[in-house]
Chains A and B, each alone.
Chain A
Amino acid sequence: MDPITLSRLQFGLTTIYHWLFVPLTLGLGWFVAFMQTRYYQTHDETWRKMSKFWGKLFLINFAIGVVTGIVQEFQFGMNWSEYSRYVGDIFGAPLAIEALLAFFLESTFLGIWIFGEDKVSKKAHLASIWLVAIGSNLSAIWILLANGFMQAPPAASYVFNEANGRLEMVNFFALVGNPKAWIFVWHTLADGFAMAAFLILAVSAYHLVRKQNLGFFKRSFQIGAVMGLIASTLVFLGGHTMGQYMREVQPMKLAALEALWETEQPASFSLLTIGDLTGKQEIWSIRIPYAMSFLACNNFSCEVKGVYELQEQAVEQYGPGDYIPLMVVTYWTFRIMMAFGLIMMGASAWFLYATRRKDYENSKWMKLVPFGALFLPYMANASGWILTEMGRQPWIVYGLLKVQDAVSPNLTVVDLWISLIGYTIVYGSLAVAMVYLMKKYAIAGPDAAMHESVDVAPVVIGSQD
C-alpha cells in the first residue's frame, strides 16, 4: 500500500474507534447528571444508586475516549502535515479552543467528581458532573465546527493567500456560524443521547428478566425508553435536514449515497438495488418514487443532480480528475445508517409502549430485543461517519484541497506500517479490557457499584503484614 492509503486507513480506523466510545460519553454524562440532580432534590436513595451505577459504566467508557482522543489531535500534524500547513490558520483555532474550553473543564471536574464526594459540598459535587457533561459536549461541538469547515467551508470565513499558498481566516464568526456544522452538532449530540439510552435499555432489560433490583431498573428502563425515542427522532430530523444542506454544498455526496447516476426530476429513492451500482447493469431494484426529492429538498418534485453531470461540472471547475466517491461504500453505509436509525425509533417507541404494562419484564422479547438493539446505534453511528468522510472524497477540504495533497511527504511506508500495527494492537487490547469491565460492572448491578470493586476476593500484592 502507498503512504496515502496507509495514512487514510490509519486515520479512518483510529477515528472510528475513538468515536465508538465518545457518543456514549456525550450522552451518558447527561443521564448521570440528571440522576444525581434528582437525588439532590428528593434524597431518594434509588436515584443515588442510579447515578453511581450508571456513573461507573460512564467512567469505564470515558477513559477510552480520553486516551484515544490525544491521538486524534496529534494525527493532523503527524500524518497530514501538508493539510496542517494549508488550513492550520483556520482549522487550528477550533482545536485550540476545544482544549481551552472543554478539555480542561471535563478533566478537572471529573477528578473532583470521582475523588471529591466527601471533600466538597453536595452542590459542588453535583455541579461537577454537570460540568463534565457540558465539557465533553462542548468539545464535540468544537471538533464538529472544525469538521464542518472540511465538509463545507463557509465562503465568508477564509481567503486564499497567494504569497504563502495557504488558506487564512478572515471571519471567525463565519467559521463558528457554519450552518452545516451546526446540523452536524444537532445530529451528533442527539446520537450521543440515543446511544446512552440504548445502553441503559439493554443493561436494564438484562436485570429485569432476572428480577433483580426491579424498582431500580424499571425506572432506568423507562428513562431509557423515553429518551431513546426523543433522541432517535432528533437524530432522524437532524439527518433529514442535513440532506437538504448536502444538496446545496455537497451535491456529489448526495448523488453518491443514492448511486444516482443520471439527474432525475422528481428523483426516486432506491430501497434496494442489486447490480454493480454502476447504473449500467441494474439487475433488480425497488424504488420509491419521489422519495429522493423529499430527502433532498423536503418536497416531492425537485431535481436531484446525478453523478455524471456533477463529475462533468467538477472537471470544468477544478480540472481533470475523478471526483466520484467510492459508490459501494456511500450507498451501503447510508442504507445501514438510515435503516438502523429508523429501527431505533421504532424499537424505543415499542419499549415505551410496553412499559404501560406493569409486568413487562416477563415478556419474552425482553430477553433479547433490548440487548440486540444496543448494536444499532453503534453500527448506525460508524456507518454515518464512514459515509460523511468517504462521501467527501477526493477532497479533504471540500473543493479546496485534495486528500492526495494533504499527506505528510516525509513518512515512509515502514513508518506507517509500524504505527498502524501498533495502534491496532493497543486499541484492540483496550477494547478487550473495556468490554470485560463493562460487562462485569453491568452484570454486577447497583449494589456492587457502591463499593471499591465488584469482586469479592481480597487483593494481595506483595507481602502482607
Chain B
Amino acid sequence: MSYEFLQILWFILIAVLWIGFFFLEGFDFGVGMLLPFLGKKDEERRAIINSIGSVWDGNEVWLLTAGGATFAAFPEWYATMFSGFYLAFFLLLVGLILRGISFEYRSKDADPAWRNRFDWMIAIGSFLSALLLGAAFANLARGIPINADKMFTGNLFTLLNPYGLLGGVTTVSIFLLHGANFLGLKLEGELRKRVNNFAKKLWVAASVLYIALGIFTYAAGFWARGMVNPGIIPIAAVVVLLAAGYFVNRRMEGWAFILVALNIVLTQVTFFTMTFPNVMLSTTNPDWSLTIYNASSSQYTLTVMSVIALIFIPIILVYQGWSYYIFRKRIGTAKKSLIY
C-alpha cells in the first residue's frame, strides 16, 4: 500500500471513529442533559439512566480510540490539537469525569440529596462535554492560529469566538434532540409521552441553530478551503433534520431517531470532507496548516496500525452491536424491574 493511500485511509478511519463517537455518545450526552428535567421521581431517573447504563462506557471508548488513533497515525495533529485546546480539553475531561463517576455512584446511597447531586453532575458533565467538543470541532473548521513550528499560538479566548460558540451550542441542541429520540425508543408510558413533548421543542431549537451554523459556515467561506467540495452532503444534512420534525411531531421515534442520527453523521462527513487534506488549518498562514501529509506517522507505523485496525474493528462492531441487541427492550419505571 502506498504511503499516500495509508494517510488517506487513516484520515478516513479517524473520521469514522469520530462519527461513531458523535452518533453513539451524542444520545448519551443528550440523555444525561435531559435527566434532571425529565425524571421527576427516583424510579424515573433510574429508568432514564438505565436506558444508557449498559452502553455509555463503551460509547465513550470511541472517543478514547479516536484520541489514541490520532496519536498513532497523526502524532503532530494529536500534539498540536491537544496542547492547543489545553484548557478546553481540561474542562472536557472534568465533564467526562463528573458524568462517568455519577452513573456508577448515584444509586449507591439512598440519601435523596446524594442522588440529586449526582444527577445534576451527570447533566452538567454531559452539557460541558457536548459544548466543548462542538466548539472544538467548529474551531477546527474555522481554523486556529498555528505557527511555522506547528504550535498553537492562541489561548482559551481564541477558541471562544462566535463561530466556535455557535458550534458548541448547536451541538448541545442536536444531542439533546438525539437523546430525546433515543429515550422515546427506550422508555414507556407517561415518561415516554413527556420525552416526546420535549423532543418537539428541542427539534425547533436544534433546527434554527443548525441552519444558523450552516449559513455562518457558508457566508464565512469555511466550506471551500480544502481540496474537496462537500457539495450536496450539507444540504442533505439540513433536509434530514427538517424531515425529522415530521416524525418528531407524530411521535414516530424510530424514524425521528434515524434521521437525526443521519444528520449527525452527515454533519461529520461534511466537516471531514471540507477539511481534507488539512487536519488543522492555520489562520496565521495557510502554508503552516497541518495536513495528512505533514502530520502523519511513518509508512511502517501506518501499515502496522492498518492491519490491527482492520482485524479488530469488525470484531468490536459485532460485540458492541450484540450488547445493544441484548438491551433492546423498553425500560419501565416499576421498581422491581429496575436494575440499580
Contacts and interface: CB of A to CB of B under 8 A. Distances in A.
A42 to B, nearest CB: 25
A93 B305 contact: yes
B316 to A, nearest CB: 5
A162 to B, nearest CB: 13
Interface string B272-301: 000000000000000000000000011011
A63 B304 contact: no
A82 B60 CA distance: 27
A170 interface: yes
Interface in A217-268: none
Nearest to A457: B110
Main secondary structure of the interface of B (DSSP, over half): helix
A89 B65 contact: no
B81 A77 contact: yes
B194 interface: no
Given A104-B316, A419-B87, A459 B42 contact: yes
Contacts of B323: 108-109, 111-112
Interface in B18-62: 40-42, 45, 50, 53-55, 57-58, 60-61
A169 interface: yes
A278 to B, nearest CB: 38
B76 interface: yes
B161 interface: no
B318 to A, nearest CB: 11
Given A116-B326, A168-B301, A453-B108, A96 B86 contact: no
Contact of B61 (A93, A104, A161, A172): A104
Contacts of A422: 90, 94
A191 interface: no
Contact of B100 (A66, A101, A168, A458): A66
Contacts of A109: 319, 323
Contact of A103 (B64, B81, B108, B340): B64
Given A60-B104, A418-B90, A426 B97 contact: yes
A97 B53 CA distance: 25
A452 B340 contact: yes
Interface size class of A (residues with CB under 8 A): 35 or more
A108 B320 contact: yes
Contacts of A99: 61, 64-65, 67-69
A430 B108 contact: no
A85 B75 contact: yes
Contacts of A172: 300, 304
Contacts of B97: 67-68, 70-71, 426, 430
A410 interface: yes
A62 B42 CA distance: 24
Interface stretch (A181-189, A347-355, A433-441): A433-441
Interface in A105-145: 105, 107-112, 114-116, 119-120
**Interface-central residue, A68, A95, A107, A112, by most chain B CB under 10 Å:** A107
B298 A168 contact: yes
A88 interface: yes
Interface string B74-111: 01101111111011011001101110110111011111
Given A59-B104, A409-B151, A74 B326 contact: no
A464 B41 contact: yes
A77 B82 contact: yes
Given A70-B60, A104-B320, A108-B58, 9 more contacts: A78-B89, A88-B79, A95-B71, A96-B73, A100-B312, A108-B320, A411-B86, A412-B155, A461-B40
27 contacts: A63-B101, A63-B103, A74-B82, A78-B82, A81-B80, A81-B151, A84-B75, A85-B76, A85-B150, A87-B75, A88-B75, A89-B297, A97-B68, A99-B61, A99-B68, A99-B69, A100-B316, A111-B54, A112-B323, A119-B326, A410-B151, A440-B108, A458-B110, A461-B41, A461-B45, A461-B115, A462-B40
Interface of B: 40-42, 45, 50, 53-55, 57-58, 60-61, 63-65, 67-73, 75-76, 78-84, 86-87, 89-90, 93-94, 96-98, 100-101, 103-105, 107-112, 115-116, 150-153, 155, 297-298, 300-301, 304-305, 308-309, 312-313, 316, 319-320, 323, 326-327, 338-340
Interface of A: 59-60, 62-64, 66-68, 70-71, 73-74, 76-79, 81-82, 84-85, 87-93, 95-101, 103-105, 107-112, 114-116, 119-120, 161, 166, 168-170, 172, 408-412, 415, 418-419, 422, 426, 430, 433, 437, 440-441, 452-453, 455-464
9 tightest Cβ-Cβ pairs between the two chains A and B = A88-B75, A77-B82, A92-B72, A455-B110, A111-B54, A92-B71, A81-B83, A96-B68, A63-B104
